[in-house]
Structure 1
Amino acid sequence: MDAFPLPLARIGIIGGGQLGRMMAKAAKRLGCTCVVLDPTPGSPAGQVAGHQIVGHYHDPAKLRELAESCDVTTFDIEDIDTDTLIQLVREGHNVHPSPRVLALIQDKLTQKQALAEAGIPTSPFIPMADPSPAGFADFGYPLVQKARRGGYDGRGVAIMRSPEDYPQHLPVPSLVERFVPATKELAVLVARGLDGDCRSYPVVEMCFRPGENVLDMLLAPANLPAETAAAAEKLAVRTLEVLGGVGIFGVEMFLTGDGSLLVNEVAPRTHNSGHHTIEANVTDQFEQHLRAIVGLPLGSTAQLSPAAMINLLGAPGHRGRPVIKGMAEALAIPGVCLHLYGKAATAPFRKMGHVTVLDPDIETARRKAERVRDLIEISGEDHP
């Protein structure tokens, strides 16, 4: 019989945002302690972990301080100094997912090249070091331009439907890919343990806000034929096997009109498409990630109830200390589960929280979620 001294593990989390916050909560349930590295004192994750190193994700000394004080280090963001993490792994520190995998994924071009070389279906693409009207015209419209580095939550992406859209282009080294007229945008979470065991979660459908490219509503499970759902899960597992690494990964896909599945992007971390798992699945994505990186058996990914999830974004035109309206009315709706992230200041379209709605009927869950979206507004006591 196994015997574990408590705390089970001391986990370092690079990034103190909402993903780290939810991970720290799961860590406490599993008998682990956490240390968070984030430049903002009292970060959302730091509030829950109780111990935070104040420092930047690109500060080698702070990254080293974190790794040396913990049994295993992980991250809730991708914009990290991977060179330092790779050196720490060489010295014997545990960092999961692998910093080499993170470095590959950080660059949208090398990520796409790795997928294409492995035969993972994805949209046609070319590198473009210096974007130009002629370069875009040669590739052909409509197209999607992605900054090779630094894009996140809709930033670093420009959709160009015609030459008239060129003034909106990003003047940075880029990946240019064919625009995919998808019938649905899907995501599959896949976890891989230290022992190589792989488990996928049921496929979810993502609906995005036009203009901001930020996830607006998620439906779980996605309304798909059983064979399409099975193919999506299989493709996600194959994608993770190509990339390698331990932990949880979010694999985003397009479903095209002819029923084909194309991998869009991979996130080597817990993912916005898995927040509903906290209430709706046997093992939530945050606990699953921790099980994977500390070497515990992976948990069941079975879904207990259909769910709809919406992000709560800062209201346009508001900054400063958050003020939430409509919360009591929203919580009176059966099946509504509210998560606020503890961010000290709101800003337009900043993720301030999320709501998961459980209901035996997915369409009812969707309607309730739309009602909650209309009710709740996060404005701010604006700075003078």
Structure 2
Amino acid sequence: MIHRMDVFPLPIARIGIIGGGQLGRMMAKAAKRIGCTCVVLDPTPGSPAGQVAGHQIVGAYHDPAKLRELAEACDVVTFDIEDIDAATLIQLGREGHNIQPPPTVLALIQDKLTQKRALSAAGIPTAPFEPMPEPSADAFAAFGYPLVQKACRGGYDGRGVSILDGPDDFDAHLPVPSLVERFIPATKELAVLVARGLDGDHRCYPAVEMRFRPGENVLEMLLAPAQIPAETAAAAEQLAVRTVDALGGVGIFGVEMFLTEAGNLLVNEVAPRTHNSGHHTIEANMTDQFEQHLRAVVGLPLGSTEQLCPAAMINLLGAPGHRGRPVIKGMAEALAIPGVCLHLYGKAATSPYRKMGHVTVLDRDIEQARIKAERVRRLIEISGEDHP
């Protein structure tokens, strides 16, 4: 989409975003910075992304007519969520609409079994796995415990995943078509963001460490860069690039990995979109993941991924037992801490463990950034007005 002689009429591009959540919101903000306009498709009127874009089509992600309306209104269509109608997007692509990453890549990745098979076929190291179209106690026992069961479709933020230690845990299984994989006792869980341009050029962000909340399996804290040996970080970045090259596609990809006790790296999952593990890049890196994704899908040169400052990031989740209009406590005291950067997502209602915002803490000392982030977590609570 690069114009001749590097001359661009404004807007540079009209970008359609399928999904109006926080990822779309931060993408729409980045789009405005680089001279693009956005149209958001989301079923919730006044969605977080729609508030920023200023133009929203209210409709479901699986509504062929609404997806077509979006594609016809925009120069390029992208997405902030995977649970969308890939078949319609594939058809729109055949008709000449520009959809990035290509919907064929989305279709491959959005089914976790298909994704696993593609990674395995490409020689990407992953945990051993087996299809489980009809989960049963006997089949689980034959595979062997402990195991991780993953729903083939629809899982995110810890949903669609069940970790079973033994036969007594079978009642906690997911009664849906799925896959089972060997439980990996990882020393760290890592993520690497890779940007891939229309011309095949790629940029890799430094590896980060992800720490998850037990039970909900939602990202609790992110440390950037990951505190791992330089050779391990380099190997993680090389593996992430290999993974994205194997899958193909354009834009930002989040590659999640396990670092085993033996020092090996195994790819866990891939997200074909901007990712929770890259929120810190807004303040901490030369080019943030959202602008980078837009550069890639529009056809602009990719930006530097250099990290300017160590960072810790925490998600702000809705307090358990609370629903309704959000009420935030502890915000002023948290903002008084040097290096604290607050992002609220503009969601109209809170619910237990719903992502309502995030905080990135910058500090030249990564351990001090972590300590400050822990303090912010203790200070800020997002409750609901109908549950004081």
Sort the TM-score into its range (normalised by shorter chain).
over 0.9
Q: What residue in structure 2 maps to residue 106 of structure 1?
A: 110
Answer yes or no: is 1:140 the counterpart of 2:117: no
Residue 381 (structure 1) shift: 1.0
Secondary structure, counterpart of 2:6 in structure 1: coil
Answer yes or no: is 1:5 the counterpart of 2:9: yes
Q: What residue in structure 2 maps to residue 20 of structure 1?
A: 24
Amino acid at match of 2:280: H
Residue 254 (structure 1) shift: 0.1
| Pairing partner for 1:334 from 304, 321, 338 | 338
Secondary structure, counterpart of 2:302 in structure 1: coil
Q: What residue in structure 2 maps to residue 294 of structure 1?
A: 298
User: For 1:40-60, what per-residue CA distance to the aligned partner results, in whole angstroms no more than 9, with x for missing partners?
Assistant: 000000000000000000000
Distance verdict in 2 for CA 1:383–1:332, change over 3 Å = closer
Unaligned runs of at least 5 residues, structure 2 = none
Residue 383 (structure 1) shift: 7.1
Amino acid at match of 1:176: V
Q: TM (normalized to structure 2)?
A: 0.98
Answer yes or no: is 1:242 the counterpart of 2:231: no
The within-5 A match list for 1:218-367 is: 218-367=222-371
User: Share of identical aligned residues, percent?
Assistant: 85
Matches of 1:383 and 1:290, distance apart in 2: 40
Q: What residue in structure 2 maps to residue 192 of structure 1?
A: 196
Amino acid at match of 1:247: G
Secondary structure, counterpart of 2:346 in structure 1: coil
The within-5 A match list for 1:150-229 is: 150-229=154-233
Residue 139 (structure 1) shift: 0.3
User: For 1:295-322, what per-residue CA distance to the aligned partner results, in whole angstroms no more than 9, with x for missing partners?
Assistant: 0000000000000000000000000000
Secondary structure, counterpart of 2:186 in structure 1: coil
User: For 1:149-179, what per-residue CA distance to the aligned partner results, in whole angstroms no more than 9, with x for missing partners?
Assistant: 0001100000001111111000001110000
Q: What residue in structure 1 maps to residue 75 of structure 2?
A: 71
Matches of 1:268 and 1:302, distance apart in 2: 22
Matches of 1:372 and 1:200, distance apart in 2: 29
Secondary structure, counterpart of 1:183 in structure 2: strand
Answer yes or no: is 1:149 the counterpart of 2:153: yes
User: For 1:98-124, what per-residue CA distance to the aligned partner results, in whole angstroms no more than 9, with x for missing partners?
Assistant: 100100111000000000011000000
The within-5 A match list for 1:38-57 is: 38-57=42-61
Matches of 1:199 and 1:189, distance apart in 2: 8
Residue 2 (structure 1) shift: 1.1
Residue 324 (structure 1) shift: 0.0
Residue 6 (structure 1) shift: 0.3
Answer yes or no: is 1:86 the counterpart of 2:127: no
Q: What residue in structure 2 maps to residue 58 of structure 1?
A: 62
Matches of 1:2 and 1:341, distance apart in 2: 35
Q: TM (normalized to structure 1)?
A: 0.99
Amino acid at match of 2:38: C
Secondary structure, counterpart of 2:361 in structure 1: strand
Unaligned runs of at least 5 residues, structure 1 = none
Secondary structure, counterpart of 1:324 in structure 2: strand
